[in-house]
Structure 1
Amino acid sequence: MMGFELDDSLKTYNPGKESHRTVTWLKERPFRAAAVCLGVLCVVLLTGIIIVAGHHNHAAVEQPTPSCNLIGEQVQLGTRCNLTDLRREQTRNKNVTKERDQLRITCTNLIQEQDLLGTSNKYLTKEMNQLQTINNNLTQERDLLQTSNNNLSEEMYQLQTINNNLTQERDLLQTSNKNLTEAMYQLQTINNNVTLERDQLKELQRLSDGGGCLAGWQPHGASCYFLSAEKKSWNASRQDCQDKDADLVVIHSEEEQNFINNFCWSVWIGLHDMESESEWKWVDGSPMKLSLWHPGEPNNVGNEDCAELMPESKTWNDIPCSWERHWVCKSVKRN
């Protein structure tokens, strides 16, 4: 009726066996289910109204009025009974027709709503498919990121392992370097002892030759002079001389000055004013009697408390004691 067609799933509906599938169908297609239910409701209402109307018409035709069955009263009451029944049936028919028209309008509205719901369902299905596609793409991106994160974590662990191995190698090398340094110091001590013994032997040899000076020292007058091959500060230079049982050179004559000039280097001499400014004296405590200062010196520019001998001008110059120069040691000849 009314051009409705039931969905195949409703035609074959079995409450005993297909309840789970029907519930699933209703959850997955809510708009379609609502439209079908409304259509079925419309058909049921129309069917009920038509059946009720037919029943009343049939009853009106087939059931005679007891008062009208009498032959004697047929003429008197026939017209009145027929008019009353006719009016009653017309009223019922009018009501049924009105209800039918209302149901038709309701069905028309339901059909329109069904069409709207179908269109909406179609758009929602399309949107759901699009969202499903987006969800699938996001899932793939998440899986790719997870894979990338796993790879980076593995690389990080590998680098950490390499770093730990390098740290262990570094510690081993530091330990080895420390051991080698200690061994070097031990060898240096041994070498110094051997060098000292060699110098002592040379001294004995020099003394046996009658020169009176150790090997590497130059004799002049009653003294021996040693010129360093390296440079040090004034204090370090004096300490080296004292380690050799000597001291920085003390110059008492121009003839001795000329002898030292032959060394051709600017050298420390044993002259300073560290104890009292401008009060120059020699390392042996004697005052400065001979003055061979360069013109304008000493000027104490920059805290200059130690003296050097400049061979170019054969004069003295005051400079800071921290500067490095060659030095000349002086000792007495040994018989």
Structure 2
Amino acid sequence: MSGKPADEAEGVIEDNEYVNAPVRPEDKAPPDRRLLFSSPSLPLLAVCWILLLLIMGLRIYFSSVISEQNVKLMKENQQLMKENQQLKTENQELMKENQELSTEGKNTELKNEIQELKTENQELKENFTKQITDLEDNWEKFNVSRAHWTIDSYCPADKMRKCSACQKGWYQIQKSCFVFYDRETPSELKTWEEARENCRGRGADLVVVHDEEEKNVIDGNVTNIPVSKGYWMGLRVEGGTWKWIDGTDLMNASWIGPPAEGHCAVSLPTRTWTSVKCDEKRTRICSQKALSV
């Protein structure tokens, strides 16, 4: 038992000497390099380098692929542009052809219309020629009938057939013949235009008075053959002026009142003339040139 404590004391002394002993050169040698490579951070660093190299490789690869695709797309785009230009050219040609076809179609329509117009014109000519022929035939018949009527009017068909300068029932005043329609039944009364047409149907016209002598003769007959509303004469207002139907102006303004548009002249039994609306109803005085017998 007494021997063990002595041994333990010796062991403590040896340990203290070892701890307090100076450091020897061989004790300061660097650590083994294999210990460094066996560090825990070494695999992570290697993985990072591998990923970086992989990314750079992929980037180079994809850049190359994209560049090739861009070149390909540019070529395709140029080809499409070329085809597009060709399509534009073809479209312009088609439009030109369509325009030509439209023009040809219009020309055809115009030709058809011209032909139809020619046909209609020919038909109208034929109808017009027929109408002229009919009118000439009717006019010839009318002239023959009128000639007989005129001869009978101026030269009554009796045993002593004797011709006069005026028709029967007409008055000769100088070189003219006059007839005074003194009947005022509704069928005999006419507007100024209707009265003139009635006179023309007898180869005459409404009376025209050129001087004071003719006026006195007309007024005298109107007084001798009076009608309540007076007689139409060939005098009316045109353009604010009194004009006779032969185109001459009224020379003496004192014969009738101031002109009013739409008015015509009427000779009254009082030996005066008055202005009334031309669409009123009156009887009339017709005149024509006397024949030389």
TM range, smaller chain: 0.3 to 0.5
Higher helix share: 1
With normalisation by structure 2, the TM-score equals 0.41
With normalisation by structure 1, the TM-score equals 0.37
